[in-house]
Amino acid sequence: MDEIATAPVQAFQASTVKTEQSFIDYSRFSKWTRILRTTAYVMRAARTFEDKGLHSCNESATTELAGNNMIAAKNFIFKQTQRDSFKPEVNALTQNKRINTTSRIQHLSPFLDEDGLLRARGSLEKSQLDYCIKHPIILDGNNPAVHLFIGQTLKYNQHSPRQLSKNILQNEYWNLCVRAHIDKIMKNCYDCRRQQATGLQPELASLPAFRFPEDKPFPFQQTGLDLFGPFA
């Protein structure tokens, strides 16, 4: 019985614990929250398997996810998307080499933080702002997970106008192609379209016939103007 119980644990560890490999296909998801929670559950289960073995899995699966589980899952997803979109840059920085001058993010002076996330160095390093604002996480909007994250941020901020949504997103994340993705999301969002809709302009109607008397065809024929001085 013990042999049967331990065999799947080894197989699971071999396939999932190496977090550098992407084991979730983000293009199969339609909601950011579902990606986040799925990743958080898988990471917590993998950690539990590592620490305590298979028998502790049933216990942890019934408890709610904690805040640190969600933060770890979010960082993990962003790290995966960065490895997918900026693999040469990440490899170069890992080996302490300069990134290619033709890179899309070369102008951001990217660096890897202690968690392995790719961040922009920016020009605010000596300011008193928070670390995540001074050095925003670099994301590629073309990645399916990042696209869903942008959509979730828009929804969370009550379908704000385009520029405000962009500012909110750019506060902590440096999104490439963010404007195009915001436009695309807004175009497919009923609430955004309804909020940005302009009022229907009524068609200009013809003036009634009594406004055009035949004996007074010119304007100001019935209008007088008295002038009073002095004119100095």
Interface residues with Zn ion (CB under 5 A) are 159, 189, 191-192
Question: In whole angstroms, how close is the CB of 117 to Zn ion at the nearest point?
Answer: 28
Report the residue number, 80 or 153, with the smaller CB distance to Zn ion: 153
Question: In whole angstroms, how close is the CB of 173 to Zn ion at the nearest point?
Answer: 18
Report the residue number, 121 or 193, with the smaller CB distance to Zn ion: 193
- Report d(CA 47, CA 9) in Å as an integer: 12
Report the residue number, 99 or 154, with the smaller CB distance to Zn ion: 154
Report the residue number, 98 or 187, with the smaller CB distance to Zn ion: 187
Could you say which DSSP state residue 108 is in? G
Question: In whole angstroms, how close is the CB of 201 to Zn ion at the nearest point?
Answer: 25
- The token duo for 53 is 């073995």
Residue number, nearest CB to Zn ion: 189
Question: In whole angstroms, how close is the CB of 182 to Zn ion at the nearest point?
Answer: 10
Question: In whole angstroms, how close is the CB of 194 to Zn ion at the nearest point?
Answer: 9
- Report d(CA 86, CA 119) in Å as an integer: 12
Report the residue number, 110 or 141, with the smaller CB distance to Zn ion: 141
